[in-house]
Each structure stands twice: as C-alpha cells, then as structure tokens.
Structure 1
Amino acid sequence: MTPQRLLVVGLTAGAVVLAAVLLIAPRMGRTAMLSGYVEGEPLYLAAPVSGTVTAMRVARGDRVRAGQPLFVVDPRQLAAQRDQLAADLAAAEAQAQDVRKGQRPVELAVYDANAAAAEARARDASAILRRTEPLVRKGIYAPARLDDARSAAQAAQAQVTAARRQRDAAALGSREDQIRATDARVRQAQATLAAASARLSDVAPAAPSAARVEDVFYQAGEWASANQPVLALLPDDRVKLRFFVPETAVARYRPGGTVRFACDGCAAGLTARITYVSPRPEFTPPVIYSREARDRLVYLVEALPSALLNPGQPVDVTPLGAVR
C-alpha cells in the first residue's frame, strides 16, 4: 500500500474515532432524563336552562380569578319561579304562626255556642232521667225506659265534655299535630326556595378557581341550550405534568414527592409535586419520542408544576436519585 493510501486510511479512521468520541462522550456524562409533556383538563361551564346569553364578561385567553363572574344566561324564567316559591314560603310561615295564636274572639263564640247547646241538652237529659227513675220504681214505666234515659244523659254529658275540649283547644291554640304539619310545610317551602335560588345562581356562574379561558362557545345575544357548554376554563390546578418512569425505578415515586423538570423557554429550577402514580404498567406511548425510553415498560406519573405552563409542552424530568 502506498504512503498516500495509508495516509488516507489513517485520516479516515481518526475521523471516525473523533466522531464517536464527540457523540458518545456527552451522553456518558449526562443524566438520562424522563420524557413527558404538559396536560390540561378543561372545565366546561353551562347553564341548567335554555336562554339567551345576555352577558359574556370574559374573552378567550383571559386570566380569571376565583369568584370572578363569567357570563349570564337570561334569568327571567328562573327568577319568576323563585319569586313564586318565596311567596309560597311566606304563606306557609304565616299559617304556622296563625295556628300558634289560637282562634279569634269571633271564632271562639262559635265554640262557646256549641258548648252552651251541649250543656242545655245535658240538663234536659238529666231532668228526664230524674223524672223517669221514680216512675219506674212505681211500675208506671218499664225498666227499659230508665235505661234509655240513663244512656241519653250519659251521651249528652259526653257531648258537653267534647265541646268544652274543642273550645279550650281553640282558645289555647291548635293541636300539636297541626303545628308539626305546618312546620313541615315551612321546611319544605324553604328547601324548594333554596333549590330555586341555587338554580338561579347557575345561570350566572363564577370561576371556581384561578384559571385561563380556553374557549368561548357563545357570545352575548346568542341562544344557548340547557346544559350546553358556554365556555371552557383551564384551571391552574388542572394543568399537570405527565411523564413515564421505568418499572425498575417506579418504587421511588410516591404521591406528595417532588421532582425537578425543565422545558424549552422555561425558567431554571422548576419543580412539581407528584399527585398520581399509575398502578398499571404500559409501554412508552408514541407521543414520547425519546430514543432512550422507546419500547420500555413504564408507569405513568402525574405531578402539579410550580409554574404556569401551556398544555402540549414537552418536558424533561430529572429522575429521583439522579445527580446532575
């Protein structure tokens, strides 16, 4: 082999060795990262009744705080129902108060008249009994006549007792069972009114937590069907990391633990709190394109990040126990 060919072969071999060193050496000194991505779970808000969207107070992409009003669907139908139920409650409460007051003087006069009539009938029956007894003893009347007179007197006295009880009950107030019945109607009316008030608040919902408005499906003036989403929120606490841990290392990951991660354009030193570790293994999903993790048996882990991220961002998670 000529010196020129030897020189060419030597240079080629040196280039191959140098390329291999440049390619392999950085990997040997670098920690193998866990691949993952950011996932967001939207929250869809709707109204329980159909109606026109009378106000849309947010726009797509806005940041909203907890309790901030979002939109209003025409509340007139539910407002009318609530007002009717409020009137029913007022009537039930008035009735409950009335049964505790007893009867008015004019109404008590009726019970007095009934009691007086019963007492008069009792006096007549007692007088008949007194006249009948000596006549029976003398044999003028048959003994059965005395029995009839005695029964009539006892019945008349029982009517007097009943009339007096009714009069006393009317004067002192209604019976306990009537009071319980009216109180039960009041509680029923209160519960129905509370449910109607809650439904009325549902047509003007507020943000349950800090979030981003992901999408708005209806604008002011448009008709929205009942239970049809009007807008979609992406709450901050529903944006999480999803990454995959090899089955040989999954025992290190527990809910409540903390992991470090990085993503393109993100600040350094980001962390996330683990909230879920899948109990079932799977193969690396095709959305993860890491050559090191391909075709590996892994477990899904979810974690809440310490920073506000956008769904779909790829992330690199530092394995627990790794030294960087």
Structure 2
Amino acid sequence: MKPQRAVVLVLAGLAVLFLAWRLIAPQFRPAPTLSGYIEGETLYMAAPVAGTVATLGVRRGQRVAPGAPLFVIEPDRRLAESERAAAELGAALAQAEDARKGQRPVELGILEAEQASAEAQAREAKAVLGRTAELARKGIYAKARLDDARSTYQSAAARVAAAQRRVAAATLGARADQIRAADARVAQARAELAETGTLVANMAPVAPTAARVEDVFFQKGEWAAANQPVVALIPDDKLYVRFFVPEAEVAAYRVGRRIRFSCDGCEKDLGAAISYVSPRPEFTPPVIYSREARDRLVFMIEARPDHGGRLLPGLPVDVTPLETDR
C-alpha cells in the first residue's frame, strides 16, 4: 500500500472515531450538578452567672434530645439564695395574714380594758359635772369650781375617744394602710423568689431542641465566667445546604422551591427547601468541592434539608440543578 493512501486511511479512521466520540460520549457523562456543602449555625450555651462547672452532661460530637441537661454551674450558692427568698416570702405572707386579723387577742383585750376604764372615768366626771352645775346654779359652788368640773369631764371624754381609736385601729377596716404595705412586701418577696428561681434554672441549661454537640469549652471543676459559652450546639433545624448557582441559571431558584441533593455515604434522594437566595453575585470561592469547571460568577443559595440531623457540617454535596422557567 502506498504511504499516501495509508495516511489518508488513518486520518479518515481518526475522523470517524472523533465523530463517534462526540455522539456517544455525552451519554456516559455524569449528570450535571451544582457543588456545595452542609453548613450549620452554632448555638452557644452559657450561664448568666460566674461559677465552677459542677456537672457536665455532654461530650463533643454527642447528639442530644430536646430538654437534655447540658451542664450545671455551682448550684449550692444559688440554691441557698432560693431558700432564703422562699423564707422571706413565708415571713411576708405571715405578716400580711397578721395584718388582716388585727392585733393579737391579748393586745386587743388590753386596749378594750383601757377603753372601758376611760369610759367609766368619763361617766363619773359627767356625773360630777352635773352635780356641780346644779349647785353652782343655786349659788352654792363658785363658777371656778364649775369650770374645773367641766375641764375634768372634757379630759375624760378625750381619753375615751383616744381609747376608741386605738381599739378601732386593731380592727381590719382601720388597718388598710398596714394591709397594703404587707401585701406589697408579699409581692416583692414573690418577685425575688421568681427571679432567684430563674437564675437557678439558668445555671443548669438544657438543650432547646435536638442538636449535635459541636464543642465543649470547659470541663468539670473549671471556672467559667458569666455569659461565657460552656457548650456549643448545632441544632438540627439550623443546618442547611449551601451551594452556588451560575449567574445564567439563578432565575430558577426562588425561596420555597425544593431541590434534590446527594452526598457520599448519605441516604438517597435527599430533599431541601430553598430558604435564602443571595441578592449579590460573587466569584467562585477558592475552596469549593467541584468536579468540573464552573462559571466564575455565581450566586449563593441556602436550603433547609428535610432531615438535618443526619448530616454533618462541612460535608460536600451535589445539588441537582433546577430547570429554568420558560
């Protein structure tokens, strides 16, 4: 065979192979995907007061259920304050009850005896005044003696009125101010007890929802400052899929639309609902789990997965692109 003919046959064969590759190869290519990863919002759990970590109920990486105890900060001192507040409330309640009952029977009996003695003296002074007035009218007693008798009676009547006021002060109706003051002390004691109870509860935080323990910053026996995070959680409902969409395709992605995604070692056919679409474009991040070339200008999208508790933050995912609305 002539060399020229061989070259032509080789070139023709290569052309046929190239055309076959262009026609058949796309069928074996993997379906196009968008690259992304699992991201989570961290919840930092702390106590409002400083103290020693008395109990630590979780470890890093552990899953916790809603209401699970996390840690306890030095409970003894706050429990003592709670008991003191409860005792003060009991004393205030007793004082309010005493104010409503009036003075004790012994004290009330003494006041009533004083009133009876004053009334007897007033009756005697009134009788003397009557006799003195009659004799003065007849000219037997001088007017000065009548004035003395009248003054004695007025003093006795004043003592009766004072004794009556003291007895009345021992009754419920006349002690309204004392009752109001006692009720105010009860309300104050209740508020202090509630505040102390809240502080005691805040010293032993619990998991607000199902979550994974991301980190533990203090160990049992260590001193933690007030409002210093002791445990970091990533709640299941705070996990989301973050991925990037080329500028030409972002119109198909709206809040509320659902996407499908997959990841290595995960269950099949995972779904999520789009919760955020970035209003500003950005360049492709330098660290992105990509299997093929992407457009440089992309929009960040976030979607809440249906089962966030089964995913780990940082896990690479592949998102099936949505079709652009026509």
Secondary structure of the structure 2 residue equivalent to 1:316: strand
Partner of 1:178: 178
- Deviation of residue 51 (structure 1)? 2.8
Partner of 2:219: 219
Identity %: 47
Secondary structure of the structure 2 residue equivalent to 1:36: strand
1:230-284 CA distance string (max 9 Å, x none): 22222212222223455865476334x533221222221111234x224723325
Equivalent-residue separation in structure 2 for 1:110 and 1:191 (angstroms): 38
Partner of 1:45: 45
Partner of 1:301: 302
Secondary structure of the structure 1 residue equivalent to 2:241: strand
Which residue type is aligned with residue 266 of structure 2? Answer: C
1:182-237 CA distance string (max 9 Å, x none): 22221221221122122222333222222222222222233333322222222212
Distance 1:231 1:252, change over 3 A: closer
Equivalent-residue separation in structure 2 for 1:300 and 1:80 (angstroms): 52
Q: How does 1:56-205 map to 2 (within 5 A)?
A: 56-116=56-116, 119=119, 153=154, 157=157, 160-161=160-161, 163-172=163-172, 175-205=175-205
* TM-score, normalised via structure 2 length: 0.77
Equivalent-residue separation in structure 2 for 1:243 and 1:216 (angstroms): 29
Equivalent-residue separation in structure 1 for 2:251 and 2:189 (angstroms): 56
On the 8 A contact 2:64/2:210 being kept in 1, the answer is yes
Are 2:285 and 1:283 equivalent residues in the alignment?
Answer: no
Are 2:4 and 1:2 equivalent residues in the alignment?
Answer: yes
On the 8 A contact 1:108/1:171 being kept in 2, the answer is no
Equivalent-residue separation in structure 2 for 1:277 and 1:317 (angstroms): 15
Structure 1 range deviating more: 160-169 or 37-46: 160-169
Structure 2, unpaired ranges of 5+ = none
Equivalent-residue separation in structure 1 for 2:120 and 2:93 (angstroms): 40
Partner of 2:312: 310
Alignment coverage as a number of residue pairs: 313
Distance 1:249 1:158, change over 3 A: farther
Structure 1 range deviating more: 124-133 or 11-20: 124-133
CA RMSD of aligned residues (A): 3.9
- Deviation of residue 168 (structure 1)? 2.9
Secondary structure of the structure 1 residue equivalent to 2:297: coil
Distance 1:58 1:252, change over 3 A: closer
Equivalent-residue separation in structure 2 for 1:310 and 1:3 (angstroms): 62
Distance 1:174 1:11, change over 3 A: farther
On the 8 A contact 1:99/1:174 being kept in 2, the answer is no
On the 8 A contact 1:99/1:173 being kept in 2, the answer is no
On the 8 A contact 1:102/1:173 being kept in 2, the answer is no
1:153-190 CA distance string (max 9 Å, x none): 4x875664453243134144762332222222212212
1:62-93 CA distance string (max 9 Å, x none): 22222222223321111221121111111111
* TM-score, normalised via structure 1 length: 0.77
Equivalent-residue separation in structure 2 for 1:127 and 1:321 (angstroms): 115
Which residue type is aligned with residue 10 of structure 1? Answer: A
Which residue type is aligned with residue 282 of structure 1? Answer: P
On the 8 A contact 2:242/2:300 being kept in 1, the answer is no
Equivalent-residue separation in structure 1 for 2:34 and 2:180 (angstroms): 67
On the 8 A contact 2:260/2:319 being kept in 1, the answer is yes
Distance 1:176 1:243, change over 3 A: farther
1:135-162 CA distance string (max 9 Å, x none): 79x9x869xx98xx69x94x87566445
On the 8 A contact 2:284/2:295 being kept in 1, the answer is no
